[in-house]
Amino acid sequence: MKKETLIDDLEQVIGYIKNSRNLSKEDKEKITNETIEYTKTNLNPGWLDYRKSVSENYAIVEWADGGDAFYDLYGQKYMDFLGGYGIFTAGHRNPEILNPILKQLDRQPMNSQELLEPLRGYLAKIMAEITPGNLHNIFFTSGGAEAVEMALKLAKLASGKQWFISAVNAFHGKSFGALSVTGKNMYRAPYLPLLQQVQHVEYGNAEAMETAIKNLIAVGESVAAVILEPIQGEAGVMIPPEGYLKKVREICDQYGILLILDEIQTGMGRTGTMWRCEAEDVVPDIMCFGKSFGGGLCPATGIMFKEALLVNEMAEDPCLLGSPTFAGNPLSSVASLATIRYMLKNDIPGMCKRKGAIILSKLKNLQKKYPEILIDFRGAGLLIAMEFENSDIGYFVAKHLFSKKILTAGTLNNAKTIRIEPPAVISEEAIDVLGQELDNVFEQVRAEFIEKKEAIK
């Protein structure tokens, strides 16, 4: 393509953004068609069939958002019961977070990387205040998997030991180290061998964990850390038995092993307390955080760790663990500072707890009415899952909800368990609509799946 044509194309796209609220019908059609075409040819055609949006209508292009909803290119409103898989806890484009970011954009979005960065310092100090126990030092990253990488590296560096114990079905991200401790066969298989010194044990079973550790030590190996999600999110909101994390903490202390808790999904108020480990009264040695840490406006993640882990080599060379270009940049730091301010002022953890309880009580009533359809449901705060007998039923439910402009997380590939993970600011009216639409669709499921099946018998 000629340079002039490329520049014209670029002018057009940037024009769409400048003029985003006044696009013509032709513009909207062109954007839709070109989005489909370029996704197919220059991204990966698989994205179209993957149908994350639970719809066969590819023409739904996401264009704007605000509060507890997002809007397509034609201005149709969708109630967000997915929350970007956990990033929108503080809502969409929350003005209390957006406005400081806009001010910072005007002043200095990125920094030289050479001088000291004040906002990074303030954020580090605040994080030491709002994280449990004696978690004291911070290392910033930009993605969740990247935070997990740093947690694993820090555990090795600080302990001088080698092995990691993780859990079956765990999800810690898809970069090499994070994938190595992830416990999902499907994601791991094409990349084997991964990190070799990882032992996966059954989640929720402290005895299995202790046995694995004992056996490794018995054969002369050394264990650096245990890494766990306090609730397994991606696995389908699996809540471990009460006391499990406490027992794991005791085992780690007994064998001199570090405990890494991955609070990327469960933290920042999502599960009804600022951090899930607080609800379990457990303090990890290293804690990963991310997702809604940037307020749904900037990518921001990181790890908090105990001061004792800041070993001499790391203090002498602060780049030894890592030196990611964009981590702790001023824009992301403002986003996180404003998010924390908003969460503390408005008791967002409490809001998640209260609204989560309303949703769970609706699910309880629905289960009483449709026990053969909603075979299980579970949740903590606004991290909730509904379970169906099979993916077909789940997909039918998610598809119906989407047709009523309610987004949940059911895909054609995996809809046996559907997650409900809305922003804390989700309105109670929206929760009522969700309850009503679930009732409507369960009635249809009964007719389509259960009664038809019985008639065939």
Ligand X SMILES: Cc1ncc(COP(=O)(O)O)c(C=O)c1O
User: Which one-letter DSSP state was computed for residue 378?
Assistant: E
Nearer to ligand X, 73 or 303 (CB): 303
Helix (H, G, I), strand (E, B) or coil at 219: coil
Query: Are 145 and 207 contacting, i.e. CB atoms less than 8 angstroms apart?
Result: no
DSSP 177-218: HHHHH---HHHHGGG-S--SSEEEE-TT-HHHHHHHHHHHHH
- Nearest distance in Å: CB 409, ligand X: 11
Note if the bond before 190 is cis, omega within 30 degrees: no
- Nearest distance in Å: CB 236, ligand X: 12
For 166, counting Cβ atoms within 10 Å of its Cβ (0-12 exposed, 13-18 middle, 19+ buried), the class is buried
Report the half-sphere exposure of 295 (CA within 13 A, side-chain side). Answer: 27
Nearer to ligand X, 409 or 430 (CB): 409
286-289 and 258-262 strand pairing: parallel
- Nearest distance in Å: CB 360, ligand X: 21
Nearer to ligand X, 229 or 437 (CB): 229
Cα–Cα dist 428/432, whole Å: 6
Query: Are 324 and 243 contacting, i.e. CB atoms less than 8 angstroms apart?
Result: no
Based on its alpha-carbon atoms, the radius of gyration of the chain, rounded to whole angstroms, reads 23
- Nearest distance in Å: CB 369, ligand X: 32
Q: Alpha-carbon torsion 342, 80, 174, 155, what sign?
A: positive
- Nearest distance in Å: CB 234, ligand X: 5
Cα–Cα dist 285/259, whole Å: 5
Nearer to ligand X, 245 or 310 (CB): 245
- Nearest distance in Å: CB 262, ligand X: 5
Nearer to ligand X, 79 or 231 (CB): 231
What Å distances lie between residue 104 and 51, 96, 140, 205, 327, CA to CA? 36, 13, 19, 47, 16
Query: Are 163 and 222 contacting, i.e. CB atoms less than 8 angstroms apart?
Result: yes
Nearer to ligand X, 183 or 349 (CB): 183
Nearer to ligand X, 82 or 216 (CB): 82
- Nearest distance in Å: CB 71, ligand X: 24
Where along the sequence are the contacts to ligand X (CB under 6 A)?
85, 143-145, 148, 171-173, 229, 233-234, 262, 264-265, 290
- Nearest distance in Å: CB 29, ligand X: 33
Nearer to ligand X, 352 or 366 (CB): 352
Chain residue at closest Cβ approach to ligand X: 144
- Nearest distance in Å: CB 301, ligand X: 6
Query: Are 157 and 313 contacting, i.e. CB atoms less than 8 angstroms apart?
Result: yes
Nearer to ligand X, 148 or 343 (CB): 148
Token duo for residue 71: 């809007």
